[in-house]
Amino acid sequence: MQNAINYSKSIAVKGNYDVLVAGSGPAGICAAVAAAREGAKVALIERYGVVGGNLTTGYVGPILGMVGKGTMRDELVKLLGVPQNDMIGETGRAHDFEMAKILLAEFVDHPNIDVYLQTTVTDVIKEGQTLRGVIVTAGEGPFALMGKIVIDATGDGLVSFLAGAPTEKGRDDGLMQPVTLEFTIAGVDESKGVICIGDVDNVCLGEERFLDYCKRLADAGELPQHLAAVRLHPTTHSGERQVNTTQQNGIDMTNVDQIYKADLALRRQIRTLVDFFHKHLPGYESCRLISSGTTTGVRETRRVIGDYIITAEQMAAGCRFDDVIVHRAEFIVDIHNPAGAGQAEDHIQYCDPYDLPYRCFTPKGIENLYTAGRCISGTHRAHASYRVMSICMAMGEAVGVAAAMCASRGCCTRELDVKALQNRLTEKGIELYG
């Protein structure tokens, strides 16, 4: 069997842009809109047929975490109609995913943005160590998009990986957080139906802690052990729950051989869970499955090593940096157990509101490339905090403005005057200091 072939082809250059944004999740949409509002000509490239990433196709909610005042996170939370959340989601409600598909499509509808849907980034165009563009594949075949600055908001850090930036995955043994398919059920009796936001929640069913009840039933064989951490979030609609409970361990979603099997197993778990709810959860007897993620929810894959690597210990202490571009980011170190059910650590690490420095967004050794979202430069434990969507939105906005500034000033990402970037962010009303 042949193991490799050489392949070359002449392809069209379909557009020249100031800023290319790969991926339209919470980080990518904010990056694209922020750059466009600064006057940059932007291409937003998304492999699926809808923008939003985990806000839509991944079916992930509620929007968790906090950041300093004045970012696009505030704008999006308002747009999606979710109440001001607390940091860990105790009062949080998942947004309406179907409405989000419309609202976010409108959000990125800006005269300076060309949105390329159903278009997958497959390679990069480099001159030495400087990024010049990307190769994409769409229904019409492959073509190139050239850009002065590229933002890797693919979640998986794919653009950075293709560009040759160093990347890491998972914890020291290589295991990553489990993948999950979130789903929504309707028909829950609100007068009886429990809400449980996760391991930090001590809500009770009668006298017993709800999560202990689920564990006891799992021990009795009524539920697979790895599904015993039953997380049931409210949504913006009465009688609905957003269920964040299915999980498959030991999966690397950057390995295509593993994806279908994981998805099949997760979809089967949805059936198991709904049966369990019918049988064992007061108020859930008549609930029904109404929708689920169209793609597996991926918590963790590549982290792109940048000019600085932030750690959870720094974040826990509320670190500050001279080159801050995201201020007062706040969330727990939320590690869903890579090797079993529930949380990986026996106590939850809280973080004081922390800063993310510019250097976490510049992949080591590569020029004119930024990362944004869950793939930025940090350790496995640090990632478990900054990966939440509020923080990813603020990251996207900050690098979107940075990219637009590089493009208009004709400078590289490492030549950008970070003070000027900070001034521009504060001018826009974004809190960066204090």
What residues make contact with ligand FAD under the rule CB under 6 A? 22-28, 45-48, 53-54, 58, 60-65, 120-121, 153-156, 158, 180, 182, 244, 297-299, 373-374, 387-389, 392
Minimum distance, C-beta of residue 226 to ligand FAD, in the bound complex (Å):
14
Minimum distance, C-beta of residue 49 to ligand FAD, in the bound complex (Å):
10
The encoded tokens of residue 176 equal 């990553």
Distance CA 369, CA 386 (A): 20
Distance CA 313, CA 108 (A): 36
Q: Which is nearer to ligand FAD, 54 or 337 (CB)?
A: 54
Q: Which is nearer to ligand FAD, 222 or 224 (CB)?
A: 224
Q: Which is nearer to ligand FAD, 53 or 193 (CB)?
A: 53
Minimum distance, C-beta of residue 336 to ligand FAD, in the bound complex (Å):
8
Minimum distance, C-beta of residue 204 to ligand FAD, in the bound complex (Å):
22
Neighbour-count burial for 332-363, b at 16+ CB within 10 Å, e otherwise:
bbbbbbbeebbbbeeeebebebbbbbbbbbbb
**β pairing state of 13-22 and 42-45:** parallel
Minimum distance, C-beta of residue 84 to ligand FAD, in the bound complex (Å):
14
Q: Which is nearer to ligand FAD, 40 or 60 (CB)?
A: 60
The encoded tokens of residue 366 equal 């590569």
Q: Which is nearer to ligand FAD, 64 or 218 (CB)?
A: 64
Minimum distance, C-beta of residue 371 to ligand FAD, in the bound complex (Å):
9
Q: Which is nearer to ligand FAD, 26 or 306 (CB)?
A: 26
**Amino acid type, 29:** I
